[in-house]
Amino acid sequence: MLKDQTMSVVLDGSPLKAMQSSHTHSQQTALSAQELSQEIKSFISGVDTVQGRKLSVREHARCAVRLLRSVPACRGAVLEHLRGVYDEHVSAFLHNLETESEASSGVSANLEDIIQEVHGVLSEFIRLNPRAWAPLVSAWAVDLLGQLSSKHAGRRVAPHSSSLNELLQLWMSCAATRSLMEAYSQCLAAMLAWCPDACVDALLDTSVQHSPHFDWVVAHIGSAFPGTIISRVLACGLKDFCAHGAKDTGLMVMGVDKGSRVPKIGSVVGILGHLAVHHSDSIRKELLRMFQESLSPSSPLSPTSSSTSWESSPQLRRAAVPFLLQLAAMSPNLFGAVSAELVELLRPPILLQLQALLQGIPREELDNMLGLAVHLISQSPSGGSRVLRFLADTATPASVIISGPTPSPHEGVREGCDRLLQMLLLHLHKLVFNRSEGAEVNSHRSASSQPQRVIPFLEELQAHVGELCAETLRLERKRHLWLHQLLCLLSVYGGPSVATEALCQLLTQAHNPEELALAWQLHTTLSSCMAGLIPAAVARCVAQIHTHTLGPRQLRQLLLNMATAIQSQDEERRGAAGVQSSMAIQVGSAVSGHLHDFGPLLLHGDPAVSHAAVRLLSCSPLPRTSSPAHLLLLSRAAVTHFFLALRRRGEVGKLGRDAGQAGEAVNCSVLLLSRFAAYSPLTLKAVLQQLVEGALHRGNASLFGGQIADMSGAPLPQIPPVSPDIGASLLDINCRFGTTVNFSGSVWSVFHAGVIGKGLKVRTDTPLPDPSGVMQNVQTLLAVVVQCCSSSGLNGSRPPSYPDEPLPINAEAAKVVAVTIVENVCPDVANGELSWPPEEHARTTVERDIHIRRCFEAHPVLFPLLQVVAAGRPALCYCSAVLRGLLATLLAHWESSREVLSTDSPWHLQASCLLVSCMGEGQLLPPVLANVHEAFPHLTPFEVRLLLLAVWEFVRGNGPMPQKFVFSSEKGLFCRDFSRDGDVARYVAPIHSVLHKNIDRLGHLCWRFQL
C-alpha cells in the first residue's frame, strides 16, 4: 500500500505540473482586482464569499496558491497557511500507516495533489528567480521540516530517531516531507552560489532545535551536497565555536562532554559523522585544509579567500586548531579520518607556525588543549606508531652524535613535544592502572561485567612491539626512557601476551649487556603484576626458532643473550644475590625445559649459531626430568657437535678471533658433554657410546691421526668400491650369488691382501695430519671420555678425598666404552666369548684378527681408549675378543718376523707394549706378566713372541672374567686378587729364560720380574 502511494505521488510528474502551472497562470491573468479582493476575503475567512459556504481544506489551499501567484504581499500568509496543509497531510499519512486502512486513503490522496500543486508553483518560482525565492522557501521548508519531524516523532509508526535510514525511508515516502525536501534541495542548489553560509546556518540552527528528529534531513541534504556542505558546516561550526569559546575558556577536558555549552558543534559533529560514511575522503581533505589554512601566514588580500570565509579573520584562525581538536574529541570518526595524515603534515615549518600560533594562547587554555591532545592520542585507533615516532623524533634533543631523520627542530617545538610526550605517558599510565583496578572490581562483582576499557592507542601499538623494542634498544638518551616506559605500559595493558612478546623481542634484539639490561628492567617492573613471564618469553623465543622467522644473526644473538642471562646467575651467586639472579634462575629453568628444542641448533649450518647454541646449552641447567627420546637426540647432537667443533678448530688454525671462538666452542662442547653425561645413566651411556663410535667413524678418523684406508680385512664386495655402475641390477648380483656370500671369519674365508701375480694391495697413502693437532684432538677426546667416565653418575657418588685427585674411572662407564669398542672393532660376534682358547685355535679366527689389527693400525686413538677402559676395572674383560685378536696377529707377526731386533717393526713393537701394559692396567695380567713389555724393545722378534705367548697362556689359564674382580671400598675401585688364581710361576718361566739369555742387556729389569 505504501509503495502504491509513493508511486502515485511522484512529484516530478512534469507534464502534470506544467499543466497545473499554466492553468493557474491563465487563471491569474483573468483575475481582476475585484475578484482578487474576493479571493483574499475567502482566504482570510475560510468561507467562499460568493456562495457563502465553508471552504474545504483543498479549496482553501487552492485559494492560497492562487493568491501566492497573484498577490505578492500575501506570500508570508500563504506559506504559513500551507504549513497547516502539510501538517494535515503528514498526519493523515501516518494515520493511514497506523490503521492500515484503505478507506481513508482518499483524504490523503486529495491533499497529495494539492501538495503537488504547491510544490510545482514553488519550484517554478525558485527556478525563475532563485535569488528572491530560495532564501524564503528554504527557511520555510527547513523550519517546517523540523517542526513536522519533531511533532510526529512520537508516532507509533515513526521509527526511533537513532535509526536514521528507516526514518529517512519513512519521511521520503510521505509526499509532504518529500516535497519539502526537494524544495529545500532546489533552494540550496541555487543558494550555494551566492550565500552558502546563510543556508547552512539555517540548517544547523534547525538541526539544533529539533535534534535528533531532524537528523535525517541533514543527512539527506549532506549526502546530496557533500562538497559544499562539508566546508560550510565546518566554517559555521568554527564561527560558532569561536563565539562561544571566547566566553568560556575551558575547553573540553578528558572526554567530559561540554557539548551543551557549544550547541552547534554537536550538530557539526553529527552531520559530519553521518557524511563520513560515504565522504570521509573529502571530509579529511577539508579538515586538513582548515588546519593548514589556519596556520599559513595570514594574507589579508589573498585572492583565494572569499569575503565570507573564515580565513580572513585572525580570531577565527586562532580558534581553528582548538576547534579541530574539539571536533576530533567529539567524533572518533572524524578523528580517525584526520589523524593518519596529520602527522605527515607536521613538518618543521608547520611546527614553527603552530608554535607561533599557540604562543598567543593563554596558559590555562593551552594546558587544556594539551590535555585534549593527549586524550586524543590515547584514543586514536590507528597511526599511533607514527604519532609516537613523530613525537619521539621531535622531542629528542638535538645531539651531535645522533642525527635523527629530521633536522633538529626548534627548541621551543622540541620542548612542547617533550611535554606532550610526558603528559601522554602519564595519561596512559593513569589509564592503564585505573583500568586494571576497575577490572578487578568488576571481576569481583560479576563475570559478565562490561569489558575492560579499551585504549585504542595502546591497542594499536601492540602490533608494533617489535619496532618499539628496536627503537628502545638504540639507547638514545631520553628516547629510550620514554619508550621503555611505554613498553611497560603496553605490557601491562596488553597482558601476558604482549609482555611476553616485548620481552622476547628484547631478548632477540639486544646486542650487549647494557641493552639486555633493559629486558631485565622491564621484567622487574612487570614481575610484580605478572607471573610466569620469563617461561612464556622463552617459550615464545623457541616458537620463533621453530618457525624459522629469525635469521642466523638474530638466532645467534638470541642464544647468546639467553646464555648471558643464565651466566649472570653464576656471577650473581658469587657477588651479591639480587633480583637479577632470581631472574637468571628463572631463565635457566625455562631454557632447561626447552633443551631439546635448542639441541638441533647445535648442528646449525652457521658455525656462529651452533657456537651460540653450545654456549647456551653448556651453561643452562639440565631439566629434572626429560624423556629418553629427547635425551638421546640431544646427546647425539651434542656429540656430533663435538666432532664438528674439533674439526673446525683444526681448520681455522691457531690465530685470530675464529680460532679463539673455535677453541671456546670445543671447550663448551666438552663442558656440555660432561655435564650431560653426568645427568643420567642413560645419557652417560649414550654419550660415551656415541663418542667412541664417532671417534672411530671414517669421517672423523683423520682427526685422531687415523688413516682412512681400506681398513677392513674382510673381503669387500666384488663390486668395485668406486664403481660408476651404481645402478647394478639385483639380477646380476643374484646370478653371482656364490660370490656375494660373506664367508669372513670362517675357515673358508679368503684373504684379500691382493691378487696372486699382482703382489700386495697398494695401500693408499694419505698425508698424515698435523701431528700436534692430532695430539690435541686425542687429548681432548680423552679428556671428554675421562670426564664422562669419571663423573659420578652411575655408582654412588663419592666425593674425592682431595680436590686435585682425579676421580676414578667409573666401571660401568668404562664397560660402555669397552663394549662400544668391541662392537666397532670386531665385526664378528662368533668366537666372541671372554675366555681364551689355546693359542693354536687362533688360526680359525685369522681373518677377524687381521681386521682387528688393521683397525688398531687405522685408529691410533684406540689404544688410549683401551687404556681408559683398562683404568675402569673390570671393564677390560669385555674387550677380551679384541685383545685376543690383536694379540694373535702380533704373535703371528713376531713368529714370522725375520728381523734382527724387535725395534725393526716399530708399530708391532709399540702395539705389543701397549697391549700388554693395558692388560696389566686392567688386571688381566698379574704385575709380573704385565711388566714384560718393558723388555720388548731389547729383544729379538722370536723372544718377543715367547713372552707374548706366555701372556696368552696365562690369560687362557686364568680367563678374564669380571666376576674375579672385587670392589674394594677403601680404594673405590674393583681389584683382582691374583693369589686366588693358579700359580703364576708356571707362566713366568719363559720370561726368566729370556732374561737369562739376555742378561747383559736386561739386567736392570730383573727386579721387575720377581714373583
Partner 1 sequence: MGDIRQSLLPRDVLSAAKELLYHLDIYICNLVQSGRQPPQVDSKTQELVEEFILHAPKDRNTPARRMSAIQELQLLEIMCSCFQEQSRDTVRQLMFSALFSLQGNQADESRMALLGKLVSMAIAFGRVPILECAASWLQRTHRVYCVRLAQVLVDDYCSMVPGSGPTLQNIHSASPRFCCQFITAVTTLYDLTTEELTPPLELLQMIVSWIQDDPRLVLINFLNTPLSGNQPISSLDVTPLGGLMRWCVKAPLAYRRDKKQALTNGTTESEPEVGPLFSALHLSVLQVLMLLPNILNEKGLFGRLALLQMECLASLSSDLSRLLDQADKHTHASSADSRVLSQLALERLAQALQVAMANGALLCSREDLRTICSRLPHNNLLQLVLSGPVMYYNNIHTPPLAFSPHAAHSPIASHPTHPAHTPLPTHPSSHPQYPTQPFMTGMPFPFRPSH
Residues 728, 725: Cα–Cα separation, whole Å: 6
Is residue 929 within 8 Å of 920, Cβ to Cβ? yes
Residues 853, 915: Cα–Cα separation, whole Å: 12
Residue 757 gets the label, from left (phi > 0), alpha (psi -120 to 50) or beta, of left
Give the three cell numbers for residue 654: 691457531
For partner 1, the closer CB: 74 or 562: 74
Q: Minimum CB separation from partner 1 for residue 80, in Å?
A: 4
For partner 1, the closer CB: 191 or 490: 191
Q: Which residues, 6+ apart, have CB-to-CB distance to 290 below 8 Å?
A: 234, 238, 320, 324
For partner 1, the closer CB: 75 or 264: 75
Measured in degrees and rounded to the nearest 5, phi and psi for residue 198 equal -60, -45
For partner 1, the closer CB: 139 or 507: 139
* Cα-based distances in Å from 764 to 697, 707, 867: 18, 9, 29
Give the three cell numbers for residue 765: 697413502
Q: Minimum CB separation from partner 1 for residue 16, in Å?
A: 19
For partner 1, the closer CB: 123 or 485: 123
For partner 1, the closer CB: 133 or 936: 133
Is residue 842 within 8 Å of 888, Cβ to Cβ? yes
Give the three cell numbers for residue 684: 652417560
Which of the 8 DSSP states describes residue 193?
T
- Asked if 36 interacts with partner 1 (CB under 8 A), we say yes
Q: Minimum CB separation from partner 1 for residue 61, in Å?
A: 13
Q: Minimum CB separation from partner 1 for residue 144, in Å?
A: 13
Binding segment for partner 1 (CB under 8 A), chosen from 23-31, 580-588, 652-660, 935-943, is 23-31
Q: Residue 704: what residue type? A: F
For partner 1, the closer CB: 45 or 249: 45
For partner 1, the closer CB: 24 or 508: 24
Q: Minimum CB separation from partner 1 for residue 67, in Å?
A: 9
For partner 1, the closer CB: 25 or 630: 25
The residue among 94, 79, 61, 63 whose CA lies nearest residue 135 is 79
- Asked if 37 interacts with partner 1 (CB under 8 A), we say yes
Q: Minimum CB separation from partner 1 for residue 89, in Å?
A: 19
For partner 1, the closer CB: 75 or 649: 75
Cα angle 392, 394, 397 (rounded to 5 degrees) comes to 90
Q: Minimum CB separation from partner 1 for residue 29, in Å?
A: 7
Residues 104, 108: Cα–Cα separation, whole Å: 7
For partner 1, the closer CB: 46 or 663: 46
Give the three cell numbers for residue 311: 580565513
Site string for partner 1, 119-138 (x = CB under 8 A): -----xx--xx-xxx-----
- Asked if 335 interacts with partner 1 (CB under 8 A), we say no
Cα angle 97, 101, 107 (rounded to 5 degrees) comes to 80
Q: Using CB under 8 A, which of 8, 28, 422, 582 touches partner 1?
A: 28
Count how many Cα atoms sit within 13 Å of the Cα of residue 591 in the half-sphere of its side chain. Answer: 30
Q: Minimum CB separation from partner 1 for residue 207, in Å?
A: 24
Residues 815, 834: Cα–Cα separation, whole Å: 14
Q: Minimum CB separation from partner 1 for residue 310, in Å?
A: 25
Q: Minimum CB separation from partner 1 for residue 70, in Å?
A: 6
For partner 1, the closer CB: 44 or 153: 44
Q: Which residues, 6+ apart, have CB-to-CB distance to 623 below 8 Å?
A: 592, 593, 595
For partner 1, the closer CB: 82 or 565: 82
Count how many Cα atoms sit within 13 Å of the Cα of residue 36 in the half-sphere of its side chain. Answer: 15
Binding segment for partner 1 (CB under 8 A), chosen from 34-42, 85-93, 298-306, 447-455, is 34-42
* Cα-based distances in Å from 704 to 533, 672, 690, 766: 47, 21, 16, 14
Residues 751, 260: Cα–Cα separation, whole Å: 111
Local structure of 851: helix, strand or coil: helix
Residues 760, 831: Cα–Cα separation, whole Å: 28
For partner 1, the closer CB: 40 or 92: 40
Q: Residue 338: what residue type? A: V
Q: Minimum CB separation from partner 1 for residue 194, in Å?
A: 11
Q: Minimum CB separation from partner 1 for residue 153, in Å?
A: 24
Q: Which long-range contacts (CB under 8 A, 24 or more apart) does 659-664 make?
A: 661/611, 662/607, 664/611, 664/615
Q: Minimum CB separation from partner 1 for residue 198, in Å?
A: 17
Q: Using CB under 8 A, which of 2, 8, 25, 552 touches partner 1?
A: 25
For partner 1, the closer CB: 81 or 815: 81
Q: How many CB atoms lie within 10 A of CB 41?
A: 13
Cα angle 168, 82, 63 (rounded to 5 degrees) comes to 140
Q: Longest C-alpha distance within the chain, in Å?
A: 174
Q: Minimum CB separation from partner 1 for residue 34, in Å?
A: 8
Q: Residue 847: what residue type? A: E
The residue among 641, 580, 640 whose CA lies nearest residue 609 is 641
For partner 1, the closer CB: 132 or 830: 132
Q: List binders of partner 1 among 43-62 (CB under 8 A).
A: 43-44
Sign of CA dihedral 707, 709, 715, 717: positive
- DSSP states of 373-389 as a string? HHHHHHH--S-HHHHHH
Q: Minimum CB separation from partner 1 for residue 175, in Å?
A: 24
Is residue 411 within 8 Å of 364, Cβ to Cβ? no
Binding segment for partner 1 (CB under 8 A), chosen from 28-36, 635-643, 676-684, 951-959, is 28-36
Is residue 327 within 8 Å of 334, Cβ to Cβ? yes
Q: Minimum CB separation from partner 1 for residue 193, in Å?
A: 11
Q: Minimum CB separation from partner 1 for residue 93, in Å?
A: 24
Is residue 232 within 8 Å of 306, Cβ to Cβ? no
Give the three cell numbers for residue 320: 581553528
For partner 1, the closer CB: 121 or 639: 121
For partner 1, the closer CB: 69 or 232: 69
Q: Using CB under 8 A, which of 23, 41, 53, 160 touches partner 1?
A: 41
Q: List binders of partner 1 among 62-81 (CB under 8 A).
A: 68-77, 79-81
Q: Using CB under 8 A, which of 7, 30, 33, 762 touches partner 1?
A: 33
Binding segment for partner 1 (CB under 8 A), chosen from 24-32, 596-604, 677-685, 981-989, is 24-32
Total binding residues toward partner 1, as defined by CB under 8 A: 30
Sign of CA dihedral 292, 298, 299, 302: positive
Binding segment for partner 1 (CB under 8 A), chosen from 30-38, 168-176, 720-728, 795-803, is 30-38
Q: Minimum CB separation from partner 1 for residue 55, in Å?
A: 14
Residues 735, 465: Cα–Cα separation, whole Å: 70
First to last CA, the chain: 131
Q: Which residues bind partner 1 (CB under 8 A)?
A: 25, 28-29, 33, 36-37, 40-41, 43-44, 68-77, 79-81, 124-125, 128-129, 131-133
